[in-house]
Amino acid sequence: MEKSKRNLKALIAQMTLEEKAGMCSGADFWHLKGVERLGIPSVMVSDGPHGLRKQEEAGDHLGINDSIRAVCFPPAALSACSFDRQLVQEMGERIGKEAQAENVSVVLGPAVNIKRSPLCGRNFEYYSEDPYLSGEMAAACISGIQSQRVGTSIKHFAANNQEYNRMSCSSEVDDRTLREIYLPAFETAVKKAQPKTVMCSYNQINGTFASENHWLLTEVLREEWGFEGYVMSDWGAVNERVPGLAAGLDLEMPSSGGVGDREIVQAVKDGTLDEAVLDRAVERILRVVFDYADNRREEAFDLEGDHAFAKRAAEESMVLLKNEGMLPLQDTENVAVIGGFAKTPRFQGGGSSHINSFRVDSAWDSLSGRANVTYAQGFSAVEDIYDEALAKEAVEAAKRADKAVVFAGLPDSFESEGYDRKHMRLPQCQNRLIKEIACVQPNLAVVLHNGSPVEMPWLGDVKAILEAYLGGQAGGSAVADLLYGKANPSGRLAETFPLKLQDNPSYLNFGEGDQVEYREGVFVGYRYYEKKDMQVAFPFGHGLSYTTFAYANIRLSADTATDKDTVTVSVDVTNTGAVSGKEVVQAYVKDLTGMAKRPVKELKGFEKVSLQPGETKTVEITLCPRSFAWYHIGLHSWFIGSGKYEILVGSSSADIRQSITLTMQSAQRLPLHLHMNTTIGELLADDRTRELGKKLKQKMDAFFGGAGAEVPEGAEGEAISDEMGEAIALAAPLRNLSGFGICTKEQILEMLAEYETLST
Ligand code: BGC
């Protein structure tokens, strides 16, 4: 979007105090205020994120009232599984065109909160448990929408990872975890795609509402990352208007009924708010308003074209979790299609993102045209009731057929914006029927319709599982084509499927209470399961294809790098199967320096590549300095340690095919803080103090009878093993040296002073 060339400062100088305060809150549910006498238009914003929810009449933020007929693209939980920036960007372009056609200035999305727990009711709207993937998807989506001269509002900033008490609870998260897990998706999006607006979240972060968090909205977002647009509140997220404005919250949404505006006017009048702060907020808002209004263009709403794209996006994203030779189905086979979701797919989630779809494809619409396919409902798609008659009919149908496919999933009431799931199970009636069918039909596949992982008690009893997530309005026809091999699955999980809810790292600290402690720290999703070497149902990045791929010749652009360099890792990927397909090549970085407690490995790059049978392509993935960094709380900044890093390249987090080692020669050093409680072990571990450490250890050893000292005979000698002596010497703080009379306190302080100069 072109930047407005208007002289906004001059315009603002003509505005009254009341008009300026008025610009800082909505006129109604969806419009900003205009100022007619000055030619400031009243522009509209609308949800987002996976289609346009433009309400023409009664407005609400919970999806209650109707919106215009539009296209429901695959929600983020599914589109992230495409691992395809191009695809997500095109989805953005299409949503942007629809918004332009409908005169919507800002689309409220993408939503990029990290999936901390599978229970979050809104996970279907979010991309991933992984911050790198979330950031890449978000940047692609924003670039796509904004290429159509329509703004975006990346949300919900920040640490809004549950629905329970979402408007008041405090997410208690340490700095390192915020920086490494919960903020990077926003950071990447801001740096790569400069969204026109950011939507702050409802919750508090470490006791301060996001809507009045100066650190978050000003220091981090603007001063560190360079965000240029305006910050709007989530609908009703303002706690105190004037502190919010001072913290960097420009626009309160929706309307505050004039309350917030009056408070701003009063604060300027009584001198508690500098008018310059208000002027700056108005300028930020007006810049985005005019960027839109001055760059409008004629667009037509291409419903049919967008529907066709929605199908392709779903096909490229759905994940084949398991396939023991059962799929694709063959035209000649008799297939029993079972389950209410085949005719009534659940294709989107409830709440503010709910699209009024102009058409919905069910899988049965496509499958019913086939001669040898039968349908039995088995169970309803909307409630959990085991109906004996329906179940019996389904079991009989499955028994008669060559193969059976059960269309299972979570009913709407099981997951939605506004509340979290209580458990990770499918409706009982579905689990029971799947087990019963598995007893009579060994060739059984399950297609899942869900916004977030489910437990699969029948995992070992079925031959194939297709994770369709919430497929968008064309998801049904995409499923049909994937089942019959008209399309080859190429989606990869953007989140781990744990075996059971209790395995999830946030299990003991999720949901209830006014404060939610993020005690698992940076160990979210696969970062946790891998660190604990736990078995999972399906790992992050996993997804099968109807073809196979081989990896060879991993190489680096350089074997050593500095903390300022980018490094390219290349690998040759060959389609070794009989059909064309797409592989998602994933690059993970493993820190071998041992300087910090870090995940086993972290995703730092990926590329999706399309290959004909027999074809080989070289895939290149570029790693930047941040790919190696961790956030150091003491330094308040990112840190890259010198030493070895392994680059692991593969088809999923659990299927690494090639690896190579890089030596990092970083100019960054951790500061030395030596004091009387520094241990000898710490001195020995750091090359800057190793010599001093050796010297002091010798003195300790001599004193305690370590190496070179005389070993006492009898009971006392036996009580101290060599290992124990060593451990005690290493853990000894320097003050012990004076305590035991080995050196005087003054001598120790003198030595330390000498070494302090090495701190930088
Ligand atoms: C949601 C936002 C949404 C807004 C407007 C809020 O309840 O949290 O994501 O954009 O409503 O509908």
CA of 150 to the centre of ligand 1 (A): 18
Ligand 1 near 163 CB (within 6 A): no
The CA dihedral of 189, 194, 198, 201, to the nearest 10 degrees, is 20
pLDDT value for 712:
56
Ligand 1 near 47 CB (within 6 A): yes
- Listed in sequence order, the residues at least 6 apart from 429 whose beta carbon sits closer than 8 Å to its beta carbon are 379, 384, 385, 386, 387, 391
- Residue 742, SS3? coil
Tokens standing for 297? 């263009």
Mean pLDDT, range 502-521, rounded to an integer = 96
Buried b (16+ CB within 10 A) or exposed e, 410-433: bbeebbbbebbbeebbbbebbbbb
Which ligand 1 atom is the nearest neighbour of the CA of 48? 10
CA of 98 to the centre of ligand 1 (A): 19
Residue 280 has phi, psi (to 5 degrees) of: -65, -40
CA of 154 to the centre of ligand 1 (A): 11
Pick from 122-126, 229-233, 254-258, 398-402: least confident: 254-258
Which ligand 1 atom is the nearest neighbour of the CA of 166? 8
Pick from 1-10, 622-631, 678-687: least confident: 1-10
Tokens standing for 160? 């809004």
Question: Is the pLDDT assigned to residue 547 strictly greater than 60?
Answer: yes
pLDDT value for 106:
98
Please give the distance of CA 683 from its chain centroid, rounded to a whole number: 39
Tell me the sheet residues that pair with 658: 649
Which ligand 1 atom is the nearest neighbour of the CA of 156? 9
pLDDT value for 57:
65
- Residue 644, SS3? strand
Q: Provide the pairing of β-strand 106-108 with 151-157.
A: parallel
Q: 565-569: long-range contacts (C-beta < 8 A, 24 or more apart)?
A: 565/625, 566/622, 566/623, 566/624, 566/625, 567/622, 567/623, 567/662, 568/620, 568/621, 568/622, 568/623, 569/605, 569/620, 569/621, 569/622, 569/623, 569/647, 569/649, 569/660
Question: Is the pLDDT assigned to residue 448 strictly greater than 70?
Answer: yes
Percent pLDDT > 70 in the chain is 96
Ligand 1 near 604 CB (within 6 A): no
Question: Is the pLDDT assigned to residue 38 strictly greater than 80?
Answer: yes
Tokens standing for 595? 């300087």
Per the document, the length of the chain is 760
Percent pLDDT > 90 in the chain is 87
Pick from 6-20, 215-229, 727-741: least confident: 727-741
Question: Is the pLDDT assigned to residue 3 strictly greater than 90?
Answer: no
Ligand 1 near 639 CB (within 6 A): no
In the sheet where 230-233 sits, what is the strand order? 45-47, 106-108, 151-157, 197-200, 230-233
In the chain, % helix, strand, coil (3-state, to 5) comes to 35, 20, 45
Ligand 1 near 159 CB (within 6 A): no
Question: Is the pLDDT assigned to residue 717 strictly greater than 80?
Answer: no
Mean pLDDT, range 188-202, rounded to an integer = 98
Do residues 74 and 471 lie in contact, with contact meaning Cβ atoms separated by under 8 Å?
yes
Question: Which residue's structure tokens are 């001598």?
Answer: 747
Do residues 108 and 157 lie in contact, with contact meaning Cβ atoms separated by under 8 Å?
no
- Listed in sequence order, the residues at least 6 apart from 177 whose beta carbon sits closer than 8 Å to its beta carbon are 518, 521, 522
Ligand 1 near 155 CB (within 6 A): yes
Instruction: Kindly report the protein residue whose alpha carbon is nearest to atom 5 of ligand 1.
Output: 61
Residue 529 has phi, psi (to 5 degrees) of: -60, -35
Mean residue pLDDT of the chain comes to 95
Mean pLDDT, range 123-139, rounded to an integer = 98
Residue type, 422: K
Ligand 1 near 452 CB (within 6 A): no
Ligand 1 near 20 CB (within 6 A): no
Q: Cα–Cα distance between 182 and 178 in angstroms, integer?
A: 5
List the one residue out of 390, 578, 360 whose CA is nearest residue 488.
578
CA of 489 to the centre of ligand 1 (A): 32
Instruction: Kindly report the protein residue whose alpha carbon is nearest to atom 8 of ligand 1.
Output: 234
Q: Cα–Cα distance between 678 and 756 in angstroms, integer?
A: 12
Ligand 1 near 492 CB (within 6 A): no
Outline where DSSP puts E strands in 126-218. Answer: 151-157, 170-172, 197-200, 204-205, 208-209
Tokens standing for 627? 């790919």
Ligand 1 near 61 CB (within 6 A): yes
CA of 416 to the centre of ligand 1 (A): 13
Q: State the sign of the Cα–Cα–Cα–Cα dihedral 301, 306, 308, 309.
A: positive
pLDDT value for 62:
66
Which ligand 1 atom is the nearest neighbour of the CA of 109? 10
CA of 235 to the centre of ligand 1 (A): 6
Instruction: Kindly report the protein residue whose alpha carbon is nearest to atom 9 of ligand 1.
Output: 352
- Residue 676, SS3? coil
The residues assigned a catalytic role are 234
List the one residue out of 353, 347, 345, 349 whose CA is nearest residue 63.
353
Mean pLDDT, range 447-475, rounded to an integer = 98
Ligand 1 near 125 CB (within 6 A): no
Which ligand 1 atom is the nearest neighbour of the CA of 125? 9
Ligand 1 near 234 CB (within 6 A): yes
Mean pLDDT, range 346-364, rounded to an integer = 94
Instruction: Kindly report the protein residue whose alpha carbon is nearest to atom 12 of ligand 1.
Output: 61
pLDDT value for 67:
87
- Residue 601, SS3? coil
Q: Identify the band that residue 550 occupies on the pLDDT scale cut at 50, 70 and 90.
A: very high
Question: Is the pLDDT assigned to residue 621 strictly greater than 80?
Answer: yes
Taking only the tens place, the pLDDT of each residue in 551-593 is 999 999 999 999 999 999 999 999 999 999 999 999 999 999 9
CA of 46 to the centre of ligand 1 (A): 9
Question: Is the pLDDT assigned to residue 760 strictly greater than 50?
Answer: no
Which ligand 1 atom is the nearest neighbour of the CA of 53? 12
Which ligand 1 atom is the nearest neighbour of the CA of 60? 12
CA of 203 to the centre of ligand 1 (A): 13
List the one residue out of 230, 284, 294, 260 whose CA is nearest residue 27.
260
pLDDT value for 705:
64
Question: Which residue's structure tokens are 């103090």?
Answer: 689
Pick from 56-65, 222-231, 356-365, 735-744: least confident: 56-65
In the chain the first and final C-alpha atoms are separated, in Å, by 44
- Residue 299, SS3? coil
Q: What is the DSSP string of 405-464?
A: EEEEE--GGGSBTTB--S-SPPPHHHHHHHHHHHHH-SSEEEEEE-SS----TTGGG-SE
Q: Identify the band that residue 710 occupies on the pLDDT scale cut at 50, 70 and 90.
A: low
Mean pLDDT, range 672-677, rounded to an integer = 89
CA of 75 to the centre of ligand 1 (A): 15
Question: Is the pLDDT assigned to residue 66 strictly greater than 90?
Answer: no
